[in-house]
Chains A and B, each alone.
Chain A
Amino acid sequence: MTTPLVHEPSTLALTVNGDRRSVPPGTSLSAYLASLELDPRMVVIEHNRTILRDRDAYASLILLDGDVLEIVHFVGGG
């Protein structure tokens, strides 16, 4: 019998706009936005309290367990 391996989680837990969400390991931010059917040009992302100003960097940003995302956009206001 072999000793049990450390369990690799099959999903990562994120907090997105205050809600718990899960994604497969290795998911990039751009893939995650695509899964939400969000157009990156229409939203602004804050990743672990850092505002991402370069949308081209979304593809290389790999989400990690415990990451906190805020996804915001413009709505009607005065």
Chain B
Amino acid sequence: MTASIDLATSLDTRFEIGGREFRSRLMVGTGKYATNAQMLAAIEASGAEVVTVAVRRVDLDRTKDEGILYHLDPQRYMLLANTAGCFAIDDTIRYARLGRAAGFNEWVKLEVIGDQQTLLPDAAATIEATRVLAAEGFKVMAYTNDDLISALRLEDAGAVCVMPLASPIGSGLGMLNEFAIRTIKHRLGVPVIVDAGVGTASDAAIVMEQGVDGVLMNTGIAAATDPVRMATAMRLAVDAGRLAYLAGRMPRREVAVPSSPTTGMLDP
């Protein structure tokens, strides 16, 4: 008799951030797609519930339907406004408030960028902005470096979730510091969602194998040759990585250990 694995139960897919329950551990961005139809198909294939959006000026000489709300159903997806592109605390807070005024929710994916070339986050500014926004009732998901101390400070400042990077935004370099990510996950009380740097499915699996609660990506899907297929691969990889984490991997050894019996061999 073969034991059957019920994927629905062996994957503990439900988890909570800031008092809200989520099913999918994969969150996706909506930028850089060739067409809106492609974006929608990729999001659908990813199984994501949470999709990030940016706040930008309306082009007053626009084509009429360029806003993403004409394409994404806010009843179906949780829209998570980001503060991408902000370098100063005041700007970041302004963008967060504008995002909230759209009227969908109190959540913000907080980014304060510290350097134009690497787009690495300014942890000190992010901590300060988190403090201000949390006091205003925002549910702050705070993007940060793979650094334990800034992650701890963000939790103290009131972040509902801390989002350390795997590697720089849009780099596709995958997980650069597994140890740091595991340490952050181990020490924080709030959920940890790795954000940025995932380039392909194996990267997503490696992220999830560290035991983090989820992963957020945009370019890894949108910049693939076939984004819809890559979104599917990412969905499967996030599940595979989560399942592998729950299963508990074997110890690493520097020497070989035979898999087959060493007894019962024939005489030479």
List A residues at the B interface (Cβ < 8 Å).
Answer: 16-19, 21, 36-38, 42-44, 46, 51-53, 70-78
- Listed by A's residue number, 30 A-B pairs whose Cβ atoms lie within 8 Å are A18-B57, A38-B58, A43-B58, A44-B55, A44-B98, A44-B99, A44-B101, A44-B102, A51-B98, A53-B103, A70-B57, A71-B58, A71-B60, A72-B56, A72-B58, A73-B55, A73-B56, A74-B55, A74-B81, A74-B102, A76-B30, A76-B33, A76-B54, A77-B30, A77-B53, A78-B169, A78-B170, A78-B196, A78-B216, A78-B218
The reply on B52 being an interface residue by CB < 8 A is yes
Q: Inside 8 A of B170's CB, which chain A residues have their CB? A: 78
The 5 closest A-B pairs by CB, nearest first: A77-B54, A78-B218, A78-B29, A76-B30, A74-B53
Given contacts A17-B58, A36-B60, A37-B64, contact A75 B101 (CB under 8 A): no
Given contacts A16-B60, A53-B101, A78-B219, contact A72 B29 (CB under 8 A): no
Q: Does B53 contact A76, Cβ atoms closer than 8 Å?
A: yes
Q: Does A76 contact B29, Cβ atoms closer than 8 Å?
A: yes
SS class of chain B's interface: helix, strand, loop or mixed?
mixed
A68→B46 CA distance, assembly (Å): 41
A21→B60 CA distance, assembly (Å): 10
- The number of inter-chain residue pairs (CB within 8 angstroms) is 96
Shortest A77–chain B CB gap in Å is 3
Given contacts A74-B53, A77-B52, contact A52 B101 (CB under 8 A): yes
Beta-carbon nearest neighbor of B74 in chain A: A74
Given contacts A44-B98, A51-B98, A78-B84, contact A73 B29 (CB under 8 A): no
Shortest B199–chain A CB gap in Å is 14
Beta-carbon nearest neighbor of B83 in chain A: A77
Which of B54, B81, B169 lies at the interface centre, i.e. has the most chain A CB atoms within 10 A of its CB? B54
Q: Does B60 contact A78, Cβ atoms closer than 8 Å?
A: no
Given contacts A17-B58, A74-B81, A76-B39, contact A42 B32 (CB under 8 A): no
Beta-carbon nearest neighbor of B28 in chain A: A78
Shortest A59–chain B CB gap in Å is 17
Q: How many residues of B contact A (CB 8 A)?
A: 38
Given contacts A42-B69, A74-B54, A78-B196, 17 further A-B contacts (CB under 8 A): A21-B60, A44-B99, A44-B102, A70-B98, A72-B56, A73-B102, A74-B69, A75-B53, A76-B31, A76-B32, A76-B33, A76-B39, A77-B31, A77-B53, A77-B218, A78-B30, A78-B31
Shortest A54–chain B CB gap in Å is 9
The reply on B224 being an interface residue by CB < 8 A is no
| Contact partner, A17, options B55, B57, B69, B196, Cβ 8 Å | B57
A53→B33 CA distance, assembly (Å): 30
Q: Does A77 contact B39, Cβ atoms closer than 8 Å?
A: no
Q: Does B79 contact A77, Cβ atoms closer than 8 Å?
A: no
A21→B61 CA distance, assembly (Å): 12
Q: Inside 8 A of B32's CB, which chain A residues have their CB? A: 76, 78
A17→B170 CA distance, assembly (Å): 28
Beta-carbon nearest neighbor of A21 in chain B: B60
Given contacts A17-B57, A36-B60, contact A74 B67 (CB under 8 A): yes
Shortest B39–chain A CB gap in Å is 7
